[in-house]
Structure 1
Amino acid sequence: MGGPVAFELASVLASRAQRIGWISSALYLLAIGFLPLLGGPRYEAALVAGLVVPAIAAVTCALEGARAPQAGAWSPLDALLRGLLAATGHALVLLVVALVHGARAGICEPGAGFLLLVLGPGAGVLLAGVWGAFVGCALRGRSRLAVIALALGAPLLAVGVSLVRFVTSPMVFAFDPFVGYFAGPLYEVVEIPIARLCTYRAGTLATVLAALCGASLLERRGEVGGLRVRRPLDRRGVVGLGFFGALSAGLAGAGAQLGHFSTDASIREALGGQLSYGRCDVVYADSLRRAEVARLARECDAHLAQIERFFEAPGPDRVTVMLFAHAAQKGRLMGAASTYIAKPWRREVYLQPSGFPHPVLGHELAHVVAGSFGAGPFRVAGPLGGWIPDPGRIEGIAVAAAPRDDGNVDLQQWAAAMRKVNLLPPLERVFRLTFLGESSARAYTVAGAFVSWLREDQGAEVVRRWYGGASLEVLTGHDLGQLEERWHVHLDAIPLPETLLHEASARFEQPAVFGRQCPHLVDRLYQRAEVRLGLQDPAGARRILDEVLELEPRHGGAALLRPACSLREGRPEVALEEFDALARDTSRTSVERARAWEGAGDAAFLLGRDEVAFDAYTMALDMTVGEHARRSLEVRRWALRAPTRARKAIELLLVGAATTGPQWDLAAPALGGWMRGGPEDAMARYLLGKNLLARGHHAAAAALLEQSVFEDAGSSLPLSSVRTEALRAALIARCALFDAGAARRTYELLVEEKLTLGQRRGLARIAERCGVDPGVVAPRPDDSSL
């Protein structure tokens, strides 16, 4: 069944072709290892290695088999075994270089990292070696170009299959026989599905064994050209080929069930539910409440009308929303567990429930509507007719067309603040692939702010045609640099409070994912620490936080969570000291210091040190811009001087007991008791209403929220920010109930409040989607700049 050459390592080591291949792989891996996130055994390194190293192995094995003089003496089985041995050399090079770069740059997850290299490109390169050896046998004596083309054919075909699945189905992940595993979104916290990768590689092993058994049944026609079946057939080879071939085919056929791939049909079947409203078809997990799905369908239809008005152009006749039960289901069926996705060419968006109104539904629908005037097969902006995506234009147009409704700072203010603190990147870096090198917060905001300004300055048609591929210089008479200068003049004229500048520095100075050492591991660990603390396991959370801080010593979230652990351990005195030290550390960002002051206020609240708590909350307020965070601080500060029952209810709801944290199940009856009458009755109604709204009890929430702001409720809300939020929450509750009349009355009260321009615009968008005409949205003389 084969000569001894198949097992002679010295012969393989002496092969000039194989030495060139191993050196090529080593040089490539050494070079890419100096790039961000590509040094050492980790997901990104495995992905980039898998794109090239198996191709090198396939080509070198194929060329040796087709061109080396001595190869004509090898049987097909000898050749494949030799290819497998040569490919093992590439796999060893892969592991050794990963170890070298890991020693230089640090190894994030040695166990998982090396396992991913072995199961990903490591297994893929072995398959490539077998394939290349087969090509060499089959094309013995043929031209070098033909050999190389066929050797690369299988890796390219595998990538092509993944691309076809990406285009023809919702899925964004891929299992590739040569590359290994591709998770999909760049900003996702990557969780490697080791079990699914193992079952996938079981198929690879079966394929290799089937190929070896098949090779044992073949022989060469002669020194040059072609293979033929040996006579008589070897029974062991036939049985092996049948068994392993059937196993390989069976695993491939069960790929959808094993989670190796998905199709449109398999995802629809797994979700099970379907509902339509207006132009929106919602395919949803049948575990979701139908009323919740109907609400999202109506919201989708209303968003489409708003987005089309922004673009001054129609979108598609129908749009499909795939609504998964939760992130885990979405991640298994299509990838992108925590990342919301749209595919404009399929006119589909992919979400999981996230309350009402959904925070990103409009953004994803904007991608789909923009596809109506996008370019290329994916209906997006970019060079070469959209074949190379421009993420700046793609994301910027969606951010501008559907900004968030719940912020008090608008896009232009954020961009102006970035410019003021020297964090505004040049547009030439934003509107090209270098967009991905910026932090997502900075890149998305800048792109959206410029597109928003461009529409105001040049009109919607210019935005549409630029997105479709036309040159800005042709459309406007100005190139991007000249338009950027004019935009900067506009930004410089925007008044900015000092607190916004501090928050902009903290919000936008964070490095991109490519600028961090072990971002995926750090983010996973931090999330686990939050979960452990939420499960009242502060000791477990502290152990995980120690790992986070060892990997990323300046991780602000981890630094702030450590004193929270002390609080949950029943040591509020220690927590207060730790929070106070962080708050006074001027090397920390203003956002981190504000959160530390907030934590110090909570610890002092529980200790009964009301003046210390009051001062800490005030310091936090002075450093905080976000309206939701500010309002929570104001309510806790107000509670310090409120009657006992009001203070206790707010303590349970927003501060919590030292060892348990906030507890709704204990706070609810306390709020109910407080609500039975008294001078602070309105605040109790507001807090109950807000929490019922968050839990989807819209009718009860609407009643309580409206009562909290009406004169006959027996009291008035003590904070203007709370009154504004009570009206805003009541508007949302009425919209969720499809009660346009009540929504209109609430909106009319809201616009009389002192608001920021960002708030006015957000509220107008919400009201419009409820069927309320918001009229002209403009700032009032007494409005706040924030």
Structure 2
Amino acid sequence: MPKKVTQNYLSYFLTIATGVVLLFIPLLGDLHIESAMLATVIGCFWGGFRACRGNPNADFRAALRIIGYLFLAGLPLLVNAILTECLSIHGLAFWLLFPPTGVYFGYAIGRLLRSFQLSFRRLLLTTILLALGIGIFLYEFFHYPQVYFFNHVWGVWPGPIYDETVKLTKPMVFFRALTISWILLLWHIPAFSQKRYAQWIVGLSAIALLFGYTQLTKQGVLTPRSYIQEQLGGHKTTEHFELYYDQRLYSEYEINKLAAEHEFYLQQITDALTLPSRGKSNKIESYLYGHPWQKKELVGAKFTSYVPIWLQQDQLHIAKQQTKSSLKHELVHVLAKRFGNRLFNGSWSIGLIEGLAVAIDGGSSSTSTIDQIVVSEQPYPTAKELQHSFSLLGFYGGRSGVNYITSGSFIRYLMNEYPISLLKEAYRTADIAASYGKDWQVLANGWHRHLDSISVDSADQQTASRIFRIPSLFEQACPHVLSNFAARWDEYRFLMASHDTTQALAALDDALAAADSVASVKIEWSFRQLVAGKFDKVNRVAALQDTTVEQHLLYADAFAMNGDIETARQYLRKARQLFNPKQDSLLKPGMQVRQDDWQWNIYRQLRYQNYWPDSVIFAKTNYHIKIRTLKKAIKEERWELVEQYGRQLLQVNPRKRYVDEYLLFIHELALQGNHKLAEQWRRVVSKLSLRRRQAEQLQNERGWLKFMSK
């Protein structure tokens, strides 16, 4: 066999072997955006180096050959994606669009340098590609609030890794069209003086580039703050904040509440971190998007709320659905900039950045403290594991739920046991052991002793199990692939968030069909049909063979709304058979409500129709109905009814089951200026046997009431 043929076969084998190795590397082993980016970077430099010493008559074929090798390396990824049913049309599109254009872009630059007969062409090429690939990225990173980035050298970074859905979008295609225009222009400059067609191509490419670069903002390639403000439309100023919000999807009351909460959390965090009072001149900009899909389109982050701490202007970006759970957390990031490092106002330890925020906001669970969640998942992290989680890359190496809660618990321990100044020093230097003057074993032992003093129960264990069992993106078999059901469900949620109920119901029909009547989806479908008054549709799908209590209760409601009480009672009997009385859930009061025909009728009118009971009827209703009525009045901003129902409810003994609702009620009353009634309710709730986390939340509402009483 000729030596050249042998070398070719060897190169093919090594290329395929490289692709096989990638299969064992998280994310890079998936035929999607990450591996496409890697292939694009390699192809760009490879093409450029090859062009620096290439044959002018074989340039196009030489570039094609490089592309062939890249695709050959991607072949194991493609085969694996097919065999594991992880093949994504979007992942395939990334591979077809980015690596080939990356190769020709690098090749075109190298070819141009070669035509000028410059010395040290490869060094110059490397400098140019690094300037384009890193320099431009850094400029955009430190000047724009977006978290997506486009680049001619490496393609595109779509946004945070927690937003798993990554699709080929119009902005990506538009920007790659600019890359192709650059390729055409640079490729034909060497022949500009000899070939007329080259002059035409260079001229047209230059025009396309000039026009294209004027459209970067409109096409979603760059997103300056001014453009976000223009798109959202709404604006409200407070003492320390500039709030920009989607004026179509926020009511005036919702914005006033958020404005007050911004100021309240600012005061709380300032006190917790012993920071000097913030001046009124340098206000924090808060961008409040109507929903995650709008945020994804404008700045690249969908379900991930974030603070670009690296920018000079203090700001946060959060969608409406995340404000309750994330606003205080994100504001911690903003205020922590004051003691962050000089480069990007943060810490090189992601564990410190996120742990500090979790320590102050207390975590997302309404039933368990962050300490109780950690205690429920013993054994505790060792000193070595703890040190690793606070290292530069350790935080994102594991499950986010584990790392957020664990780091938050440890940081809260440090805040309670040591001067806050030591934590600030650790935050700035990313060196906890040096800042505290203690080694990791000593710090871990102290934390473990603290955790040993925390009592837990089955509710804490269930919460911990739910949070800690969520796999990370790196652990998922098909990290970027959406099933047909997931896509339909995502569309349904988007339409509901956009207040397009008609289209949302149609999308929910599709989701139900794609889910093959999965119980949770069927429950949501049935409820939405009932709210829309489509009782017959629910009746048609009702089946005694269904296996959840919630389904049968909704079926019973549907038949009762149509006047078929006998059939409704059949489904109630089935629900009773399925019900587990040992479960501490709202199913029990829901079952009780339906045992009395009068109560059940009131409940149905309240839940599915625009009905508001008067004071006489309200007094006679079941306690569960009273709570639902009060929540509905708050949701629909019927404040006269909120006060009326709230006063009546004071006359009935409170139930521990409804603590979350009481806390919501206190919060809203304080905002309405009804401080006396809010304080009455706070005292009532304080006498209940509260869980540790509920006591924390009640204390927070006490601070809120005091703040709103000023």
Range of TM-score over shorter length: 0.7 to 0.9
Partner residue, 1:692 = 633
Does residue 1:398 correspond to 2:323, yes or no?
Answer: no
Report the AA paired with residue 387 of structure 2: E
Identify which of 32, 38, 42 aligns with 2:28: 38
In structure 2, stretches of 5+ residues that fail to align are: 494-503, 528-537, 558-567
For 2:422 and 2:23, locate their aligned partners in 1 and report how far apart those are by CA, in whole Å.
Answer: 42
Q: Deviations over 1:407-444 (max 9, x none)?
A: 12111101110126999993133212132132222211
Distance 1:352 1:561, change over 3 A: closer
Q: Is the 8 A contact 2:367 2:459 kept in 1?
A: no
Q: Is the 8 A contact 1:412 1:449 kept in 2?
A: yes
1:204 counterpart SS class: helix
Does residue 1:50 correspond to 2:40, yes or no?
Answer: yes
1:397 Cα shift?
0.6
Q: Is the 8 A contact 2:233 2:245 kept in 1?
A: yes
For 1:15 and 1:200, locate their aligned partners in 2 and report how far apart those are by CA, in whole Å.
Answer: 40
Distance 1:211 1:179, change over 3 A: same
Does residue 1:119 correspond to 2:78, yes or no?
Answer: no
Q: Is the 8 A contact 2:146 2:222 kept in 1?
A: yes
1:157 Cα shift?
1.6
Partner residue, 1:102 = 81
Report the AA paired with residue 512 of structure 1: S
1:334-483 equivalence runs, <5 A: 334-346=299-311, 347-354=314-321, 358-382=324-348, 390-404=349-363, 407-419=366-378, 426-432=385-391, 433-469=393-429, 471-483=431-443
Q: Deviations over 1:163-206 (max 9, x none)?
A: 32122111000122232221111111324143222222222222
Partner residue, 1:779 = none
For 1:257 and 1:509, locate their aligned partners in 2 and report how far apart those are by CA, in whole Å.
Answer: 41
1:513-524 equivalence runs, <5 A: 513-522=473-482
**Once structures 1 and 2 are overlaid, which stretch shifts more, 413-422 or 463-472?**
413-422
For 2:215 and 2:150, locate their aligned partners in 1 and report how far apart those are by CA, in whole Å.
Answer: 13
1:470 Cα shift?
6.0
Partner residue, 2:534 = none
For 2:277 and 2:65, locate their aligned partners in 1 and report how far apart those are by CA, in whole Å.
Answer: 54
Identify which of 586, 599, 607 aligns with 1:646: 599
1:764-779 equivalence runs, <5 A: 764-772=699-707
Distance 1:31 1:406, change over 3 A: closer
Identify which of 493, 506, 514 aligns with 1:544: 514
In structure 1, stretches of 5+ residues that fail to align are: 1-12, 66-70, 218-229, 383-389, 547-556, 580-596, 623-629, 654-663, 775-786
Report the AA paired with residue 694 of structure 1: K
Partner residue, 2:164 = 189
Does residue 1:330 correspond to 2:295, yes or no?
Answer: yes
Distance 1:563 1:367, change over 3 A: closer
1:42-81 equivalence runs, <5 A: 42-62=32-52, 64-65=53-54, 71=55, 74=56, 78=57, 80-81=59-60
For 2:6 and 2:252, locate their aligned partners in 1 and report how far apart those are by CA, in whole Å.
Answer: 66
1:35 counterpart SS class: coil
Q: Is the 8 A contact 1:685 1:704 kept in 2?
A: no
Q: Is the 8 A contact 1:344 1:378 kept in 2?
A: yes
Q: Is the 8 A contact 1:124 1:179 kept in 2?
A: yes
Report the AA paired with residue 412 of structure 1: D
1:391 Cα shift?
1.7
Identify which of 575, 581, 589 aligns with 1:613: 575
Identify which of 528, 547, 569 aligns with 2:488: 528
1:166-205 equivalence runs, <5 A: 166-205=141-180
Q: Is the 8 A contact 1:283 1:323 kept in 2?
A: yes
Partner residue, 1:583 = none
Partner residue, 2:530 = none
Report the AA paired with residue 330 of structure 2: E
Partner residue, 1:213 = 188
For 2:157 and 2:480, locate their aligned partners in 1 and report how far apart those are by CA, in whole Å.
Answer: 14
1:310 Cα shift?
1.3
Partner residue, 2:496 = none
2:256 counterpart SS class: helix
Distance 1:421 1:431, change over 3 A: closer
Distance 1:474 1:149, change over 3 A: same
Identify which of 591, 597, 605 aligns with 1:637: 591
2:480 counterpart SS class: helix
Q: Is the 8 A contact 1:172 1:335 kept in 2?
A: yes
1:320 Cα shift?
1.4
Identify which of 613, 630, 637 aligns with 1:672: 613
1:323 counterpart SS class: strand
Q: Deviations over 1:26-60 (max 9, x none)?
A: 66544323212322422232233334332233233
1:621 counterpart SS class: coil
1:127-276 equivalence runs, <5 A: 127-140=105-118, 142-143=119-120, 147-151=122-126, 153-217=128-192, 230=193, 234-276=195-237
1:394 counterpart SS class: helix
1:576 counterpart SS class: coil
For 2:180 and 2:224, locate their aligned partners in 1 and report how far apart those are by CA, in whole Å.
Answer: 24
For 1:421 and 1:734, locate their aligned partners in 2 and report how far apart those are by CA, in whole Å.
Answer: 41
Distance 1:300 1:25, change over 3 A: farther
1:184 counterpart SS class: coil
Q: Is the 8 A contact 1:688 1:704 kept in 2?
A: no
For 1:619 and 1:44, locate their aligned partners in 2 and report how far apart those are by CA, in whole Å.
Answer: 49
Distance 1:42 1:128, change over 3 A: same
Distance 1:743 1:336, change over 3 A: same
Distance 1:422 1:304, change over 3 A: closer
2:242 counterpart SS class: strand
Report the AA paired with residue 115 of structure 1: A
Report the AA paired with residue 349 of structure 1: L
Report the AA paired with residue 686 of structure 2: V
1:447 Cα shift?
1.0
Partner residue, 1:297 = 259
Q: Deviations over 1:94-131 (max 9, x none)?
A: 55343244356x35234222112112233222222222
Q: Is the 8 A contact 1:405 1:759 kept in 2?
A: no
Q: Is the 8 A contact 1:33 1:45 kept in 2?
A: no
Report the AA paired with residue 161 of structure 2: L
1:255 counterpart SS class: coil
For 2:688 and 2:235, locate their aligned partners in 1 and report how far apart those are by CA, in whole Å.
Answer: 41
For 1:688 and 1:559, locate their aligned partners in 2 and report how far apart those are by CA, in whole Å.
Answer: 27
1:363 Cα shift?
0.3
- Give identity over the alignment, percent: 19
For 1:335 and 1:538, locate their aligned partners in 2 and report how far apart those are by CA, in whole Å.
Answer: 26
Partner residue, 1:588 = none
Report the AA paired with residue 240 of structure 1: I
Partner residue, 2:647 = 707
1:520 counterpart SS class: coil
